[in-house]
Structure 1
């Protein structure tokens, strides 16, 4: 489907040539020796590809986690939202790098096409393209006055209004002005506690202005300025929810809190042991996956307008073009959520689970006063923020003559600055404001981290294509990249109700609020470990006035990447290629937590690929690719839970992984006006070598299938707590890498004198995926499928269209991703509980869209 362009009027749907810029020069998709999926605005409208997830469904090897807004290709991608570790798939808008995937899913009214380049793009793209690159290309100003207005209404009171106008300003100068507004008032997650509903509730605005002009006969320019904001009530891809279950069963039922296991919270202190046996006001969801019960509103958005400026300048010499590509972007993002996941506002708790009165305590501890109850106000609110700006400059010099040798040279500069604060507060817990013997805490924070970082990237590259016979072409490219990161990380942590944090046989005193910043955010190496702490600038220091602990970080990385490719074109309709690519992603930091070893090494991949692109008599087109990756030092976050302190992530380099697979894209037009699209991908992305990593949800490595590398007992005989044991991960899957994926679409156009009617039917199926490097049932999102359909009426003059659409017509309650965390503390049986977090795909939705063009 990747190179089809729909022509609904005057001849039916036809397989036409699609011109793309995957190699930074205009070429037919079928002539480019790269595995590319391309989606034109016409194709997106016809099939109903309106989001990043839809693009994912129809792109072999591409995976997207809607709940975390992370994307991966052929098993390589981003596994953390920590900005000190970049994504593994580079996203570009009109050639300018961006760390966000939002632009990829923007309306077809604004985006002319989206190109997804699979495999390392280590020569022409470079930065963070170790897994591939995605480029969204904007629609440009027109020479004639024209415009379009679109309005749609759909399920959950969703309204979209957008429009553009374009035309000449003066001779040689053109403009394009566009705006859009999206609102949705009703969510498909309902709050049974009486608070506002959530789930895809939206309030979004976007504006853009483009100016394009000719500067004499040899030069031209293009400028785009855009602003946008959104204030939504959900997580990035929709609300996430979860349920609790005893860990030893591994039978975790999503949706609501399990009455049998209760609910525990708060960073190892086990201070909020909530459950129906303890509190009659505790509410469960009754197994309804779309129900939740909270009292703090969730929102995510860019509430202040983000700003984006992009500039292109071209100068055309006799046999070469000089092109400048520049861009700047700034945004402030915030995500607030109800961290305790309940609507409880007050609860009186004893010392530990199972102890309901002081008479059950040892008389020695009664005398110390540590068995007294504590009133907790479990209104726990988390706030995650990003304040980020970046700019880039790129110069390309490209040959334009008829020589059998074609080349491109380039230089690239990138710089970004950001702050990424995250805090968890108990705003109703007055004790937290004045901790004993520590700096004041007026916001009543229990957990706080931040990082103020800056990164630089510089690169130079070149690629040469040599057509040394009529049918054979050799391509060789090299790129040198140097990266640098520098900044300061900060953190502060409180232990509230510390007597409930550990077993009373260990604790000797009671402190309602204890500042444990120094001990938790220490960055100190374990005793006896003399390994250098790469990237650390000096020891961590606590600010006496604020209680915040800080430490500096700095390091540099560089690499040579490139490609070597041999093309064979035995005839005008066939392309066979064999390709080697070297990919690289800079090292990063687990910044914000002041851990002992915060730095991760750079990633590298050696990729080998065979491809065939073939047109069969104009009615059938097949693109096939097979690949093998030797993937080294993948950067993976691993959750850890100490006995006292927050659950945190360490960054770990998996020494060796392997990714291999097969991908097929086909378009078949068996009769006039009927097109059938079929895509299939097989992906085996597995860990080949990785040892001694602890599963935060199963620290004892006691679950079926775990391969512990320690002979220690799974459970401590004194405390009953699981004993931490690392695991051998060889043979496990890389996260969010479905083994099989299928996409099918059939569309048929009936033509009448007043216009045409096109029916489109889509079916997609994705295999199960794991959201972790541990292949466990509690990290597994089962296989899922989806059916969509559309009817499009288009008048014969191409002035208006009417579209009726339905998505997820069978209303499947499937999961996008699934994860689990261990609840702090253990129950009376000495078994930890798991909190399983799920991300649901949207339910059945339907609506109507009107388009008018002039």
Structure 2
């Protein structure tokens, strides 16, 4: 773990372990596969942030949403059972099944919000692509894409065993435990190797349920996840990997409390007399085969993913039964996904006049959802689709580079829904509909090399968020389905390294235009529907700097400025209002990070980061504003040949903050943010 974590638009990674000493003096490049081929991240004409294995571990980043704190203009709208990722102000409507940000793990898509709360385990690299990525990734990448790449086996036997004990700065101190191991085993020298990674995490959590008779900790957590990767390299041309992974989670989801009103509680306390449970079981199988020929590279990625979630909580979130006929809200999700991507690309290398890539992608999804409260909604959704895509870059006059890409994508979603609204006196009903789309997703960019390590670029790209079905509320055929939304992204930027690779400075400006925005409109207090009724605009600037003024010392800084606004949306009838001019929910105007770390050649290090966002709104009504927050994280430790030790702290000043808020039962219901936490991590390497 020798790299310095860089919270910036284009993070810089580091190479092999033997380059540790050089890391103290200058910034090393990092190779990414954001555009489906291996490239230096600084040479991509677009906004890509890359975070290496050592970068993630050195900042003690354990979850995907912790990493987003360091990426400007990326914000996670958290709630108890899902994390909705917003990039540059673009996110889906409340209640959407699909995310507007594509999440891919080893090339396989995780399409719904509930699947996007990842625990990190032996991660090789994370790449964050901002702006629509329709050409190479297709549907539901309207805001951007996050690629998670796990570590591969090597030809050397070795591994690591680690244990961690921590403490929440709440309830008088609540322990946190994490333990795990990774082991790499070469089975056939230079031909076959296997890597196993396991991790377990447990805590009783920082929130306490003070309701009389409550026996459950509000935010308890027990997570176990594991992975087995087998890599076969029979010849120099072939590289085949089989990845098997699984996870189990059993959590409490009591994070909502009343900050005022008749049911108000103190910080880190709730008072629920109902259930508070969330369980997740998932597994995935991924087969990746690469052939490296003399003239072309061919890649196949086949994936299957099964995901199951079941949760329930107190309907009114109070210590009394205000709704005795339906005291509990319960939901379940069962998702089975199969996908195949086959692509062929020209060989990467210097001096080539034209680089190109082409591919085909097919998928099928079986998604079953159930939501049970005042009415019961059970939906079975069968999706299938395919795409043809291609991209090419023409290198002209040595310094000019022109890139064109296009994708034709077909998607067919078939939905069937059974509604039981007997409690409302409306009986049962059956709904069926089909949403079918064929879309064209082009992109184009031009870049110019001002100097060997200074590049300017301009880019335009189209993205779309697929249509779908209202799984949660719709009780009539007319309100069951909705159509896709589309966006165009316009971006200019400059990427640079200076002062003999000791200073990196990157600047990007963007404008995003979203048409046919999917929004929620209510026809009664109990019934709503999703319509394509709004227009949204987002624009902003992102600045990132990393500087090594002297050996061992690294300074980092990033700043995101964002204006995201609803330009045209008005409703009539029940709850009529004009939303035009309102801010987009979950889109802070400012996001920022600054860090300092010093490393000695002996292996000792010390560092700290400040991360924060400005205020933002929880809903399109803009009736409740969530205050901004500034958190301080710190760590110090030692990295040796056999032992690693780290003393870490997150939110070390225990700042009180909210993730979201809403009006409910005469008060303000807020989701409590995590308090301070501290811990000691010890690892033995062999």
TM-score w.r.t. length of structure 1: 0.74
* 1:325-404 → structure 2 map (5 Å cutoff): 325-344=301-320, 377=324, 380-400=327-347, 403-404=352-353
Distance 1:51 1:314 in 2: 29
Pair 1:594 & 2:475 matched = yes
3-state secondary structure, aligned to 2:600: strand
Task: Quote the offset at 1:810 in angstroms.
Answer: 1.5
Q: Does 1:634 align with 2:479?
A: no
What's the CA shift for 1:33? 1.0
Which residue of 1 is the match for residue 381 of structure 2?
453
Q: Distance in 2 between matches of 1:93 and 1:849?
A: 26
Decide whether aligned partners of structure 1 residues 457 and 159 sit closer, same or farther in structure 2, where only a CA change above 3 A counts. Answer: same
Partner of 1:756: 603
1:170 aligns to 2:146 (yes or no): no
Aligned to 2:290: 314
Q: CA 1:587/1:108 → structure 2, altered by over 3 Å: closer, same or farther?
A: closer
- The 1:377–1:587 alpha-carbon spacing in structure 2 relative to 1, beyond 3 Å, is closer
For residues 428-827 of structure 1, the aligned pairs below 5 Å read 446-495=374-423, 516-518=425-427, 548-592=428-472, 593-595=474-476, 596-617=478-499, 618-639=501-522, 641-642=524-525, 647-692=526-571, 724-751=574-601, 755-776=602-623, 778=624, 780-795=625-640, 798-821=641-664, 823=665
Task: Rate the CA distance shift 1:136–1:837 in 2: closer, same or farther, 3 A.
Answer: same
SS of equivalent to 2:579? coil
Distance in 2 (CA, whole Å) between partners of 1:177 and 1:392 is: 24
1:44-443 alignment runs, 5 A limit:
44-67=56-79, 68-83=82-97, 86-99=98-111, 106=118, 109-155=121-167, 156-171=174-189, 172-234=191-253, 239-242=255-258, 254-255=259-260, 258-259=261-262, 284-285=263-264, 287-302=265-280, 305-344=281-320, 377=324, 380-400=327-347, 403-424=352-373
Paired residues of 2:38 and 2:348 also in contact (CA < 8 A): no
Give 1:95 shift. 1.1
Report the CA distance between 1:400 and its aligned residue: 0.7
Task: Return the alpha-carbon distance in structure 2 between the equivalents of residues 219 and 395 of structure 1.
Answer: 15
Structure 1: any 5+ residue segments left out of the alignment?
Answer: 243-253, 260-283, 348-375, 425-445, 496-514, 519-547, 695-723, 824-832
Compared with structure 1, are the counterparts of its residues 100 and 559 closer, same or farther at alpha carbon in structure 2 (3 Å cutoff)? Answer: closer
Counterparts of 2:30 and 2:11 in 1: how far apart (Å)? 5
Q: CA deviation at 1:220?
A: 2.4
SS across alignment from 1:148: strand
Secondary structure of the corresponding residue to residue 76 of structure 1: coil
Between the aligned partners of 2:121 and 2:604, the Cα distance in structure 1 is 20
Find the aligned partners of 2:219 and 2:22 in 1 and give their Cα distance.
39
Cross-structure match for 2:3: none
Q: Which has the larger radius of gyration?
A: 1
Q: How far apart in 1 are the matches of 2:509 and 2:629?
A: 25
- Give SS of 1:120's match: coil
Contact 1:415/1:454, CA 8 A, preserved across alignment:
yes
CA deviation string 1:72-105 (max 9, x = no partner): 111112333443xx21110000111112578876
Normalized per residue, the structure richer in strand is: 2
CA drift at 1:633: 1.4
Answer whether contact 1:295 1:379 (CA < 8 A) is retained: no
Provide structure 2 residue ranges, at least 5 long, that are not aligned to the other structure. Answer: 1-5, 168-173
Render the CA deviation track for 1:654-711: whole Å, top value 9, x for unaligned: 43211100001111111221111101001111011111267xxxxxxxxxxxxxxxxx
* Partner Cα distance (1:568, 1:459) in 2: 31
Q: 1:284-308 CA distances to partner (integer Å, 9 max, x unpaired)?
A: 44x4132222222301121xx4220
**1:211, CA displacement in angstroms?**
0.7
Alignment check: 8 A CA contact 2:64 2:120 kept: no
Q: Give the aligned partner of residue 3 of structure 1.
A: 11
Cα distance per residue 1:250-307 (max 9 Å; x no partner): xxxx25xx23xxxxxxxxxxxxxxxxxxxxxxxx44x4132222222301121xx422
Is the CA contact (8 Å cut-off) linking 2:211 and 2:319 kept in structure 1? no
> How far 1:401 sits from its partner (Å)?
6.2
Shift of 1:742: 0.9
CA distance in 2, matches of 1:728, 1:308: 45
**How many residue pairs were aligned?**
660
Query: Within 1, Cα distance between the matches of 2:467 and 2:592?
Result: 34
1:194/1:240 CA distance change after superposition, 3 Å: same
Is the contact made by 1:93 and 1:103 (CA closer than 8 Å) also made in structure 2?
Answer: no
